[in-house]
Structure 1
Amino acid sequence: MLRVFSVAFWAFIGITSPVFFLGALAVWLVTLPFDRRRVVLHLYSSAWAICYVYLNPLWRLRVRGRDRLPWRGAAVLVANHASLVDILVLFGLFRPFKWVSKQEIFKVPVIGWNMRLNGYVPLVRGSGASVRRMMEHCDRLLSAGSPIMIFPEGRRSPDGALQAFKNGAFDLAVRHGVPVFPIAVHGTGRALPKHGLVLRDRADMRIEVLAPLDPAEFASVEDLRDAARQAISEALPPLRVR
């Protein structure tokens, strides 16, 4: 039964996404003259993504601490990553951030086109040149006042356990003097594990925005990184931390 439902769910996304993309294109064209940061387009994209979460009868999503996130001003948002569903639920924050995402997703028809319209940041894992371009792109976004969203683990956890964090997000925060917002994502691994596209049974998912970290209060990038990881690890169930 879950296999049948999964096929129907992904087919629904495939059928409706082109319609949503036409709306995104219209929003982009209308707001292009006055919305240089593409805030309206991102909020439209957030509504597009989150509708699939709320329309799925197997899923329940709660968001806590959203009011901690700024509407204006640069920031670095970092979240744990256990499932493709993380991307959908984090759009539920409804704040004007820019995603850092692997370049392969930018090549996906419709979804990738919308990511390019939004000015999100592509990254090729394992490529030093791509990492440098990503950091330069993020520098420009932060300088323009746009928050960025990064998964500091670099890739999805194979078993839901919290992995080591990379330095990139925290180096950006230190250099730009902007706050880091750790975000704990709960329950998405149960909704859809790393391997396969068959949805699991009911999942109670939750996003928890934790207290921001001021880079000025830490002696090094590594200290800031470790503090962010510690904050997320303390918010997650013990079995999800290693």
Structure 2
Amino acid sequence: MFHFISRWLIQVVHWLDFILISLVAWLWALLPQSTHGPLYFHVFRSWCQMFVRALGVRLRLHQNNAKRLPQHYVLIANHPSALEDIGTPSLFPVQSLAKAAVGNWFIAGKINRAVGTLFVDRKSPASRHAAKQAIIDTLKSGQNMVIYPEGGCKGRRIAERFYPGAFDAAMQTGLPVLPVFIHYECQDDFEWQPPYNLVDMLFRFMRSQNPTANFHVFDPWHPENFDDAEAFAETARQQYLVWENHYLGANPPD
């Protein structure tokens, strides 16, 4: 009984923290863009971290890399759940690429626009082309980017294709690709699934019996070791299938 009450009180405190920082970040986002500097980026990452805590999710970072990680990189990851949209920036100093609809959300949209999140309409060739150039410009400015090469939330298993955009950006900028493999210990609760709406998703996260998200980091891949972006992407996908088999017990393809 006391354990239940204490856990409930802790979650109430986490939600109050999240509401407070959301208000601060949203009001700051209404100010001129010139005020949204490095400090706002740190506030955004704290906003993501407090959101994760409010949902009761435990992020676990596993550093499988043999060498120290570079300061500047293109981070790629599989995308089984929507939680990565706040989980990845909680753990890594990265800018994100989000679907265009997110930019129109009343609170989260303004905060993401203020911090410099890039947006893309995947159905529009012009939007995809503009996003590709914006990614390269962001990387050249000294910032890191996270890109999910599956092209969106694809569920608990690796998609049949990795799109080459992230790898092309790495080859054009000369930056290493930092691979992160993500898996959830309660996959049924976290997997992106019907009815595909935010409220249902958040309640599933909060009701999970084991709300643990594992982020496995590996040594970076260097673009000079690959002939083209398509080959780079497929090599990466094959390695993700190996990790999938290792961590999830999936059968690799023939």
Q: TM-score, normalising length from structure 2?
A: 0.76
1:135 has 2:118 as partner: no
1:209 paired with 2:213, answer no
Change beyond 3 A, Cα 1:117–1:79: same
Distance in 2 (CA, whole Å) between partners of 1:240 and 1:203 is 25
**Matches of residues 1-242 of structure 1 in structure 2 within 5 Å?**
19-24=20-25, 25-26=27-28, 32=34, 38-57=37-56, 59-65=57-63, 68-71=68-71, 73=72, 75-95=73-93, 97-157=94-154, 159-163=155-159, 164-187=161-184, 189-194=187-192, 195-196=194-195, 197=200, 198-199=203-204, 200-236=208-244, 237-239=248-250
String of CA shifts for 1:64-95, please: whole Å, max 9, x gaps. Answer: 23985444x3x211110111112122122142
Determine the C-alpha separation between the residues in 2 that align with 1:93 and 1:28: 26
**SS across alignment from 1:166:** coil
Q: Which amino acid aligns with 2:83?
A: V
Post-superposition offset of 1:201: 2.9
| Contact 1:98–1:149 (8 Å) recurs in 2 | yes
In structure 2, the residue corresponding to 1:178 is in which secondary structure? coil
Q: Is the 8 A contact 2:18 2:51 kept in 1?
A: no
% same residue: 24
Deviation digits for residues 9-58 of structure 1 (CA, Å, limit 9, x no counterpart): 9xx96x8766323422549969946x7xx43322221221122323444x
The answer to whether the 8 A contact 2:17-2:50 is kept is no
Secondary structure of the 1:239 match is: coil
| 194-203 or 168-177: bigger deviation | 194-203
Distance 1:16 1:241 in 2: 43
Gaps of 5+ in 2: 1-10
CA offsets per residue over residues 169-219 of structure 1, 9 Å max, x none? Answer: 111111111111111111074442312424143232111111100000112
Q: Aligned residue pairs: how many?
A: 223
Check 1:168–1:94 CA distance in 2 against 1; reply closer, same or farther (3 A cut).
closer
Q: Does the CA contact (< 8 Å) of 1:162 and 1:241 recur in 2?
A: no
On the 8 A contact 2:59/2:87 being kept in 1, the answer is: yes
Give me the whole-angstrom Cα distance separating, in 1, the residues matched to 2:89 and 2:241: 22
How many angstroms apart in 2 are the aligned matches of 1:225 and 1:51? Answer: 33
Retained in 2: the 8 A contact 1:46–1:92?
Answer: yes
**TM-score calculated relative to the size of structure 1:** 0.80
* 8 Å contact kept, 2:64–2:218: no
In 2, the alpha carbon distance for the partners of 1:127 and 1:16 equals 38
Letter in 1 for 2:123: G
